[in-house]
A and B are shown apart, each in its own frame.
Chain A
Amino acid sequence: MAVATATDASSGPLQLAASLGKSQSTKALLRVIILCFIAAAAVASRLFSVIRFESIIHEFDPWFNFRATKYLVANGFYSFWDWFDDRTWHPLGRVTGGTLYPGLMVTSGVIYHALRALAVPIDIRNICVLLAPAFSGLTAFAAYLLTNEMTPSPSAGLLAAVFMGITPGYISRSVAGSYDNEAIAIFLLVFTFYLWIKALKLGSMLWGALCALFYGYMVASWGGYAFITCLVPLHSFVLVVMGRYSSRLYVAYTTWYALGTLASMQIPFVGFLPVRTSEHMPALGIFGFLQIVAFLEYVRSAVPSRQFQTFLYLSLALIFGVSLLGLVGLTAAGYVAPWSGRFYSLWDTNYAKIHIPIIASVSEHQPTAWPAFFFDLNMLIWLFPAGVYLCFQHLADEHVFIIVYSLFASYFAGVMVRLMLTLTPVVCVAAAIALSQVLDTYLVIKSPNPEDSIADEVVEDTTKKGGKKFPTLLRGVSAPVVGIYNVAFKFLLAGGMTVYLLIFVQHCTWVTSNAYSSPSVVLASRMPDGSQHIIDDYREAYQWLRQNTKEDAKIMSWWDYGYQIGGMADRPTLVDNNTWNNTHIATVGKAMSSREEVSYPIMRQHEVDYVLVVFGGLLGYSGDDINKFLWMVRIAEGIWPDEVKERDFFTARGEYRVDGDASETMKNSLMYKMSYYNYASLFPPGQATDRVRGVRLPDTGPVLNTLEEAYTSENWIIRIYKVKDLDNIGRDHAAAASFDRGNKKRKATKKRGPRTLRVD
């Protein structure tokens, strides 16, 4: 911002402005003002959805976090810690206190009570909605601190802060209403890294302990803490290998590890994982390695010799190799758990698709396409490599960190869309380093005097060559003064950079406004006259469930909607977005994809009262259950390969169709029947179309025997069916329904059917 004002002023006021900025207090004041503006911009750009729609929780996962927060606020901390939730995973229940990261809920609970204590009673929902924007301001500040550690340039920190504040790569996960773990985790990530760099630079135990505390908070907040546990040891290892071992590294790392590991083990969900799983082994290994390095360094300082040094390095390499082999042995023997599927799929990118369809089925777990990088980071993506290059030029300990971080985060962001989030901070920092370098070069209006530099050189020469004197040099003999001194060029370049910065701001605002600010619970569409039409079927249906069903009516739906049903309809569900029990999800998948005769017993066994499906055929809402249906089939097939076969759901030519040519298995599947039940009656004969699949449907829709339609929302997006009770006189449902439809046999058959022996 200061940059923009400086460039378009002419040189008279420019000097004035420059002299104004010279004094230390003015600089500090400017910094504070700029940071406040950045925080305000970060918060303001996240409020599109609240202003356009309303202050509600978006998406799926945040509904669980919201529900847990409400529980925490209502029942206090201790009962939250031991919360057994019997309203999810119906027959099983969920030990919620031990299977969640409590950081987010506790943070908003603390804010809630603090505001109450200040006599500002705010609804917990509003705190949850606005938590992410509030923390994004803090993230911008953390990025400022981190970047200031990297470069002495006065502008780099502020640039990084503003990048971090408004870049869409981070906004996408932190708009108002997106009450997800990432909302506070990115702040903690950046701040932990800042503390780590600080601890490493100063070699101070206190900063190391602070880093460990914030690392503990990060562990309490997000599963992505594994990124820190792997990155910090990696950084230390690279430093040791580069021969940059110092006792500062020892102090910082061991303090961080000893305290941070204990801190992370306090979280019930993490428990003993830090000593038992492969993800945490790098940290432990480097901890042990540093002890040995430190000891041998001590020995080396006591026995000074160059030969001994090579021996030391050899033995260090040997020890490292042996302990690596030991780790491999322990993993093979089963003492250390191997990589979990989610992490393993980052290395072997095909692993999830083949072995764990439930991981591959999530859209966030797909590889990232190139346009996504430009879309989320705009100009930062091409400043990023330049910033990393500049880090190579200086290459202090903290620059090694940026290099290691950028390499790893780029790889992970390339493998998984979702991990773009961990890439964004380092992109902001590196881009700010590069851009501030450019600005520092071109915004200096004063050229150095060539005479001075020649004089300098002469002095240097005399000191170097000691005694040999050149009283006067020819101008041609002395090295030319290299640099850009043309004011026009400086203006051109600084102006160009300013234009890019302005475009960046515009791009960020546009992306935030158009792509990332829609609350998926409410669908907005435009009418032909440009007015907005809100489609609110989700809440309509959930509200119906909440008001018109028994308090403990069990709802079966695909796991995507589990959290929303629990949060909005407040009814027990069978499966939800916390996909901890794959078999249970496969059971629901089997019930959805089988014939009614097969799925009815399954539903009876699980005491299902209502079945909920999402159908977008009328409106052209593509994220419906028919489009997700193949994943249900695949997940069910993983458990019951004999009963559910994906091949059966395709036509003979291998097409996935829903119209008249659909395969018999498809037409008889419960999901198909529930989606298209009575659908043809909406249209005049022969006109029934499915707008998502774009096909014409047969006039006679499917027949449902074991379910009855309970509710269908206005735009047919949510359809709820009630599971019928057993027949009063013991017939099966098909026979009973057939009887009710009047398909009585006209003539009583005289022939006796094959009877079986009655066994009492």
Chain B
Amino acid sequence: MAKKSASAAAAAAAPTASTTTADSGATSTTTTTQMVTKGSASSSIQQTIFTVIQNYQKTTPQRTKLLDAFLGFIAVVGALQFVYCVLAGNFPFNAFLSGFSATVGQFVLTVSLRIQTTEANKAEFPSVSPERAFADYVVGSLILHFFCINFIN
């Protein structure tokens, strides 16, 4: 399956590169573009990833990066819990569920906060100011933790 999707990506991404440069204009992707137009599947995916990372490092504000660090931490904690559950069995299933869903819930809440505080999304949330988003986030997290603590027994 992985091979299939990769070839699809190759077909799609070969003409991609030129439009990328056209749209992003003055960005420094010209060198990579030339590399991609030669067109091998793996390199186009690499190029995409590279563009995303570059884009991220350049455009993301410091505060959002902090949120992203937190997101990464939550994801690691959740993954660890899951791996432990797979290795050691799920005997107190409610404990596993509440621990795991605490990470999942906190993750999606943080992602929501991140979405709402991003400048680019301002048009989509006319009624949510960043302060309001943070207050919502606090309320949502409090409810989440109440349920988790109640459920873990």
Contact = CB atoms under 8 A, between A and B. Distances in A.
A262 B105 contact: yes
Contact of A250 (B20, B48, B112): B112
Nearest to B148: A262
A304 B20 contact: yes
Nearest to A261: B101
B86 interface: no
B62 interface: no
Interface in A158-209: 202-206, 208-209
Nearest to A201: B127
B111 interface: yes
Interface string B1-22: 1000100110011011001100
B51 interface: yes
Contacts of B24: 304
A265 B95 CA distance: 12
Interface in A337-369: none
Given A258-B144, A311-B9, A322-B1, A205 B109 contact: yes
A302 B56 contact: yes
A720 B55 CA distance: 82
A258 B104 CA distance: 7
A204 B128 CA distance: 7
A291 B115 CA distance: 13
Interface in B56-112: 56, 93-94, 97-98, 101, 104-105, 108-109, 111-112
A246 interface: yes
B120 interface: yes
Interface string A564-585: 0000000000000000000000
Nearest to B113: A205
Contacts of A247: 115-116, 121, 124-125
Contact of A272 (B9, B20, B97, B144): B97
Nearest to A271: B94
A314 B139 contact: no
A294 B148 CA distance: 25
A743 interface: no
A246 B8 contact: no
Main secondary structure of the interface of B (DSSP, over half): helix
A206 B140 contact: yes
A213 B48 CA distance: 41
Given A203-B124, A250-B115, A302-B56, A311 B139 contact: no
A299 B8 CA distance: 17
Nearest to A301: B120
Given A254-B112, A302-B51, A304-B20, A248 B125 contact: yes
Interface residues of B, number: 49
A251 B52 contact: no
Interface string A259-299: 10111011000001001000000000000000100100001
Given A262-B147, A308-B12, A272 B93 contact: yes
A275 B97 contact: yes
A266 B128 CA distance: 30
Interface string A211-250: 0110000000000000000000000000000000011101
Contacts of B48: 299, 303, 308
Contacts of A303: 16, 20, 48, 51-52, 55
A262 B51 contact: no
Contact of A307 (B13, B108, B127): B13
B12 A307 contact: yes
A315 B48 CA distance: 15
B123 to A, nearest CB: 11
B27 to A, nearest CB: 11
Interface in B138-153: 139-140, 143-144, 147-148, 150-151
A299 B9 CA distance: 14
Contacts of A265: 94, 97, 147, 151
A306 interface: yes
Contacts of A302: 51-52, 55-56
Contacts of A307: 12-13, 15-16, 19
B131 interface: no
B5 A315 contact: yes
Contacts of B147: 259, 262-263, 265-266
A447 to B, nearest CB: 36
Interface residues of A, number: 43
A259 B15 CA distance: 43
B136 A204 contact: yes
Contacts of A438: none
A266 B150 CA distance: 8
Nearest to B23: A304
A206 B136 contact: yes
B137 to A, nearest CB: 6
Interface string A463-484: 0000000000000000000000
A301 B9 CA distance: 17
Contacts of B112: 205, 250-251, 254-255
B105 A294 contact: no
Given A208-B140, A261-B101, A303-B51, A202 B8 contact: no
Contacts of A294: 111
Given A255-B112, A265-B97, A209 B140 contact: yes
Nearest to B128: A204
A315 B7 CA distance: 12
A259 B124 contact: no
A448 to B, nearest CB: 32
Given A203-B116, A209-B140, A305 B16 contact: yes
B111 A308 contact: no
A308 to B, nearest CB: 5
A720 B56 CA distance: 80
Contacts of A314: 8, 12
Contacts of A258: 101, 104-105, 108-109, 144
Nearest to B52: A302
A287 to B, nearest CB: 8
Given A209-B139, A209-B143, A315-B5, A299 B128 contact: no
A254 B110 CA distance: 11
A198 B127 CA distance: 12
A78 to B, nearest CB: 14
Given A250-B115, A254-B111, A302-B56, A202 B139 contact: no
A38 to B, nearest CB: 29
A734 interface: no
A209 B135 CA distance: 12
Contacts of A251: 112, 115-116
A463 to B, nearest CB: 26
A213 B143 contact: yes
A255 B109 contact: yes
B124 A262 contact: no
A254 B128 CA distance: 17
A306 B151 contact: no
Nearest to B20: A305
Contact of B19 (A261, A275, A306): A306
Nearest to A263: B147
B90 to A, nearest CB: 10
A318 interface: yes
A204 B13 contact: no
B49 to A, nearest CB: 9
A482 to B, nearest CB: 34
A310 interface: yes
A202 B125 contact: yes
Contacts of B128: 202-204
Question: Closest 5 interchain pairs by CB?
Answer: A258-B105, A311-B12, A205-B136, A254-B108, A262-B147
27 contacts: A202-B128, A205-B112, A205-B136, A206-B135, A206-B139, A209-B136, A209-B140, A248-B124, A250-B111, A251-B112, A251-B116, A255-B140, A257-B108, A258-B101, A258-B108, A259-B144, A259-B147, A262-B98, A262-B105, A262-B144, A262-B151, A266-B151, A275-B97, A301-B120, A302-B52, A308-B13, A311-B13
Given A209-B139, A262-B101, A299-B52, 4 more contacts: A203-B128, A204-B136, A205-B109, A259-B140
